[in-house]
Structure 1
Amino acid sequence: MLKDRLYYADSYCKSFTTNILKEAQDPDSNYYVVLENTAFYPTGGGQPHDTGTLNGIQVLNVEEVENEIRHTLAESLGSANQVEGVIDWERRFDHMQQHAGQHILSAAFVELLGFPTVSFHLGREIVSIDLDVEEVSPEQLNAVEKLANDIILENRQIEIKWVTEDELHHYPLRKQLAVTDEIRLVIIPDYDYNGCGGTHPSSTGQARMLKILSTEKHRGKVRVHFVCGGRVLQQLQRKNLELAVTSRLLSAPDGGVAEAVQKLLETNHSLEKSLADAQEALLVFEAKALLDQRDQGIVKALFTGRTVQQLQKLARLLVAESDDILVLLVAENNDRLQFVATRGTSVQMSMKQVSSAILPLIKGKGGGNDMFVQGGGERLVSAEQLLTVMEESCNKDWVT
């Protein structure tokens, strides 16, 4: 029976001795054993499996497959008939803290706001629940977090009861159960009644503390990220270190980091605007220089490391200065070639003939209209060759 499994009989069981029922290899040639009984919790219900050792050999995974709990090992147990199992207690107790915190938090969302939890994930560093709502306000999160920590501070007992389906009506369950046989209830009296197959501490106080870290929208629901117990201290230490480093970099006290960052952002925005203005002025100067170098009404140029956006802006500046020119620009960027071709308003030709001529040469893609085309592709020819083909594709009698 489920309730006879050691991890259910005593969540605080750290070591045990039992018989080996089966040793085999899975399809990936990993060794696994099935035991007469086990204190290793198998992955399930949003909670990861336990780790530890069997006869000193590392347990890599524990999962229930075809009604048997398989303990995947780093190597074979050899001819042993019995094993001594040792649970990684730090990992187990962390999972117990997080899972208890999830029950407390989910119940707080229901009690205060009527928001049900629809899924739960216990990650390596952060825990999350998904709420069946579209939005949660900061004020609501603060209220829920306070209630959850009040329940933890009260150190209420966490009770485990095995009941039948006929007995369920005695308990105000938070949500409907999917199982009908060997029903396991996790109960925080006068607060939360929930069917659950995970491991939990014996009292809420052992969860120590709960902190909501952030929320995000996920598939039409709100995902709440949080931590409990020792993970709260880990998060505090990590964030305190980040704050200290940032404080030193900004030469600002811890309490003045936000103000210093705001000033830095404002300065950066001002510098970016000044740089954009300078680049714009340089493009205007460059456009005038290129116009002076036009050859029979064609302005052409090669560049290295220019973006297609820069080519577009330069081309538009050129035709704005003179409406009777053709502009042919090519840029090399690593292993790619990009181009822009445009014409002044008094020129009678379609620039599509330019892109049609060169795109096959570079296995490229492009778009545009009769006045302006752009595109890019692989550097299968040199930039000089591409520019030559662009020029040759133009009708020599195009100028009006």
Structure 2
Amino acid sequence: MATEKLYYQDQYIRNFTTKVQKLDIDESGRTYAVLNETAFYPTGGGQPHDTGKLNDVTVYDVEEVEGEIRHYIEGPMEIGTECVGQLDWERRFDHMQQHAGQHILSAAFEDTYGYKTVSFHLGKETCSIDLEVEELTDGVSFDVEKIANNIILENRPIEAKWVTEHELANYSLRKKLSVSDNIRLVIIPDFDYNGCGGTHPNSTGQVNAIKILHWEKQKKNIRVFFVSGNRMIKQLHEKQHVIGGLTSLLSAPQEQLVRATGKVLQQTKHLEKTVDELKLALIKYEAKELIDGTGLAPGRKTMKVIFKNRPMKELQLLAKSIMKETSSTLIVLLSENESKFQLVCARTDDLDMNMNQLIKQVLPMINGKGGGNNQVAQGGGDTILPAEQLMKALERFIES
């Protein structure tokens, strides 16, 4: 196909002349044009599509569907129109750097440690490969990254070659091909031989550099995240900006940031523990004040309190503190938090009443959910009625 020849064999084409052969709308209502020749790369092989313009009309997506290259456009066009195609070159060259970087990195992993690449993803900010291995160490990562960057420094040629199935015997391919015709190889001599339809620069030197960022476990594989070329410079700039900010905030040089951050985290944990202890002391004091202020008489009694913006954890701690300081007491604590109710029902050990059953009688009134056990239950719901009305409903259920 003419389209294959143009966008595959001339990697560095930026502008080209073409003609609109077909205009149509796909099943999702998007308008697309099919051209007699194109330099726009369609999504495939782990690589995203090109973008750009046809005359002044924006091309925002490119896909290969049923053997035709569809250019999804944002403006009007007519069949037979001769137009100039213009690629977004910054995007195209970025994809070329990332894709070639993946070839180099995958070859370095396999040649040095036997770790095969089973998939590749070229993302908007970072790229990733999945390695057929269950773990990866810092030493292996550093070693492979160094080998990959040495290949880049050597500025080896990157060749694209169309071959027949019979000619494949002349090449040591890294993986089995999925096609038997229109076979295109991407070759870094004496290093990597791959069947690939993506776009790449003419030499490894144009990849500029590769940096492994981090990795994570993915089922039985390891997913390695990396960047190449201009993305690496961008990552370095962003990280340096963050490090500069941390250096200023922590009053520590870059090489001491980990230690300084660890010290701050330890101090924060200590302060959080102190705050929690003080909160608990205040809640115990509040519980005593509520008991004294309510003037609970001997015999079974009910303590009902409505709060504003009290979190569930505080209501639970307060209920437990009251339970420890009194007897024969049923406790109902209700908090109205913006558009939500928080509710805790509890009783002392010497009462025989099921709090789980009690709370579940009122939760439907507020579209609520919750539950608990015989002694303590909690839940929440929507503030679709006044707090006082909800409390009165609870009183009725308690007295019934």
TM-score (norm 2): 0.92
Q: CA deviation at 1:41?
A: 1.3
Is 1:333 the counterpart of 2:337 in the alignment?
Answer: yes
For 2:132 and 2:327, locate their aligned partners in 1 and report how far apart those are by CA, in whole Å: 60
Range with greater deviation from structure 2 (347-356 or 372-381): 347-356
Q: CA deviation at 1:291?
A: 1.8
Alignment of 1:236-385 (within 5 A): 236-292=236-292, 293-296=294-297, 297-385=301-389
For 2:277 and 2:91, locate their aligned partners in 1 and report how far apart those are by CA, in whole Å: 57
Range with greater deviation from structure 2 (253-262 or 236-245): 253-262
Q: CA deviation at 1:395?
A: 4.7
For 2:91 and 2:14, locate their aligned partners in 1 and report how far apart those are by CA, in whole Å: 11
Range with greater deviation from structure 2 (278-287 or 187-196): 187-196
What's the counterpart of residue 209 of structure 1? 209
Q: Is the 8 A contact 1:353 1:393 kept in 2?
A: no
Alignment of 1:11-160 (within 5 A): 11-78=11-78, 81-160=81-160
Is 1:394 the counterpart of 2:374 in the alignment?
Answer: no
* Structure 1 residue runs without a partner (length 5+): none
What's the counterpart of residue 223 of structure 1? 223
Q: CA deviation at 1:30?
A: 4.2
For 2:99 and 2:24, locate their aligned partners in 1 and report how far apart those are by CA, in whole Å: 32
Q: Is the 8 A contact 1:16 1:84 kept in 2?
A: yes
The 3 A distance-change label for structure 1 pair 304 and 4 is closer
Q: CA deviation at 1:145?
A: 0.9
The DSSP-based 3-state class of the residue aligned with 2:19 is strand
The 3 A distance-change label for structure 1 pair 5 and 341 is same
Range with greater deviation from structure 2 (227-236 or 104-113): 104-113
Which residue identity is paired with 1:48?
P
For 1:365 and 1:29, locate their aligned partners in 2 and report how far apart those are by CA, in whole Å: 43
Which residue identity is paired with 1:249?
L
Pairs aligned (count): 396
TM-score (norm 1): 0.92
The 3 A distance-change label for structure 1 pair 14 and 334 is same
What's the counterpart of residue 190 of structure 1? 190
* Structure 2 residue runs without a partner (length 5+): none
The 3 A distance-change label for structure 1 pair 78 and 4 is closer
Q: Is the 8 A contact 1:128 1:224 kept in 2?
A: yes
Range with greater deviation from structure 2 (196-205 or 156-165): 156-165
Q: CA deviation at 1:276?
A: 0.7
Range with greater deviation from structure 2 (57-66 or 29-38): 29-38
Q: CA deviation at 1:258?
A: 3.0
1:212-252 deviations in Å (ceiling 9; x for gaps): 11112234432211111111111111111122223233343
Range with greater deviation from structure 2 (236-245 or 355-364): 355-364
The 3 A distance-change label for structure 1 pair 79 and 177 is closer
The 3 A distance-change label for structure 1 pair 4 and 267 is closer
The DSSP-based 3-state class of the residue aligned with 1:393 is helix
The DSSP-based 3-state class of the residue aligned with 2:118 is strand
The DSSP-based 3-state class of the residue aligned with 2:398 is coil
For 2:234 and 2:371, locate their aligned partners in 1 and report how far apart those are by CA, in whole Å: 53
1:8-29 deviations in Å (ceiling 9; x for gaps): 2211122222333223344455
The DSSP-based 3-state class of the residue aligned with 1:279 is helix
Q: Is the 8 A contact 2:312 2:342 kept in 1?
A: yes
Q: Is the 8 A contact 1:343 1:371 kept in 2?
A: yes
Q: CA RMSD in A?
A: 2.1
Q: Is the 8 A contact 1:20 1:35 kept in 2?
A: yes
Which residue identity is paired with 1:279?
K
Q: CA deviation at 1:197?
A: 0.5
For 1:241 and 1:102, locate their aligned partners in 2 and report how far apart those are by CA, in whole Å: 27
The 3 A distance-change label for structure 1 pair 352 and 71 is closer
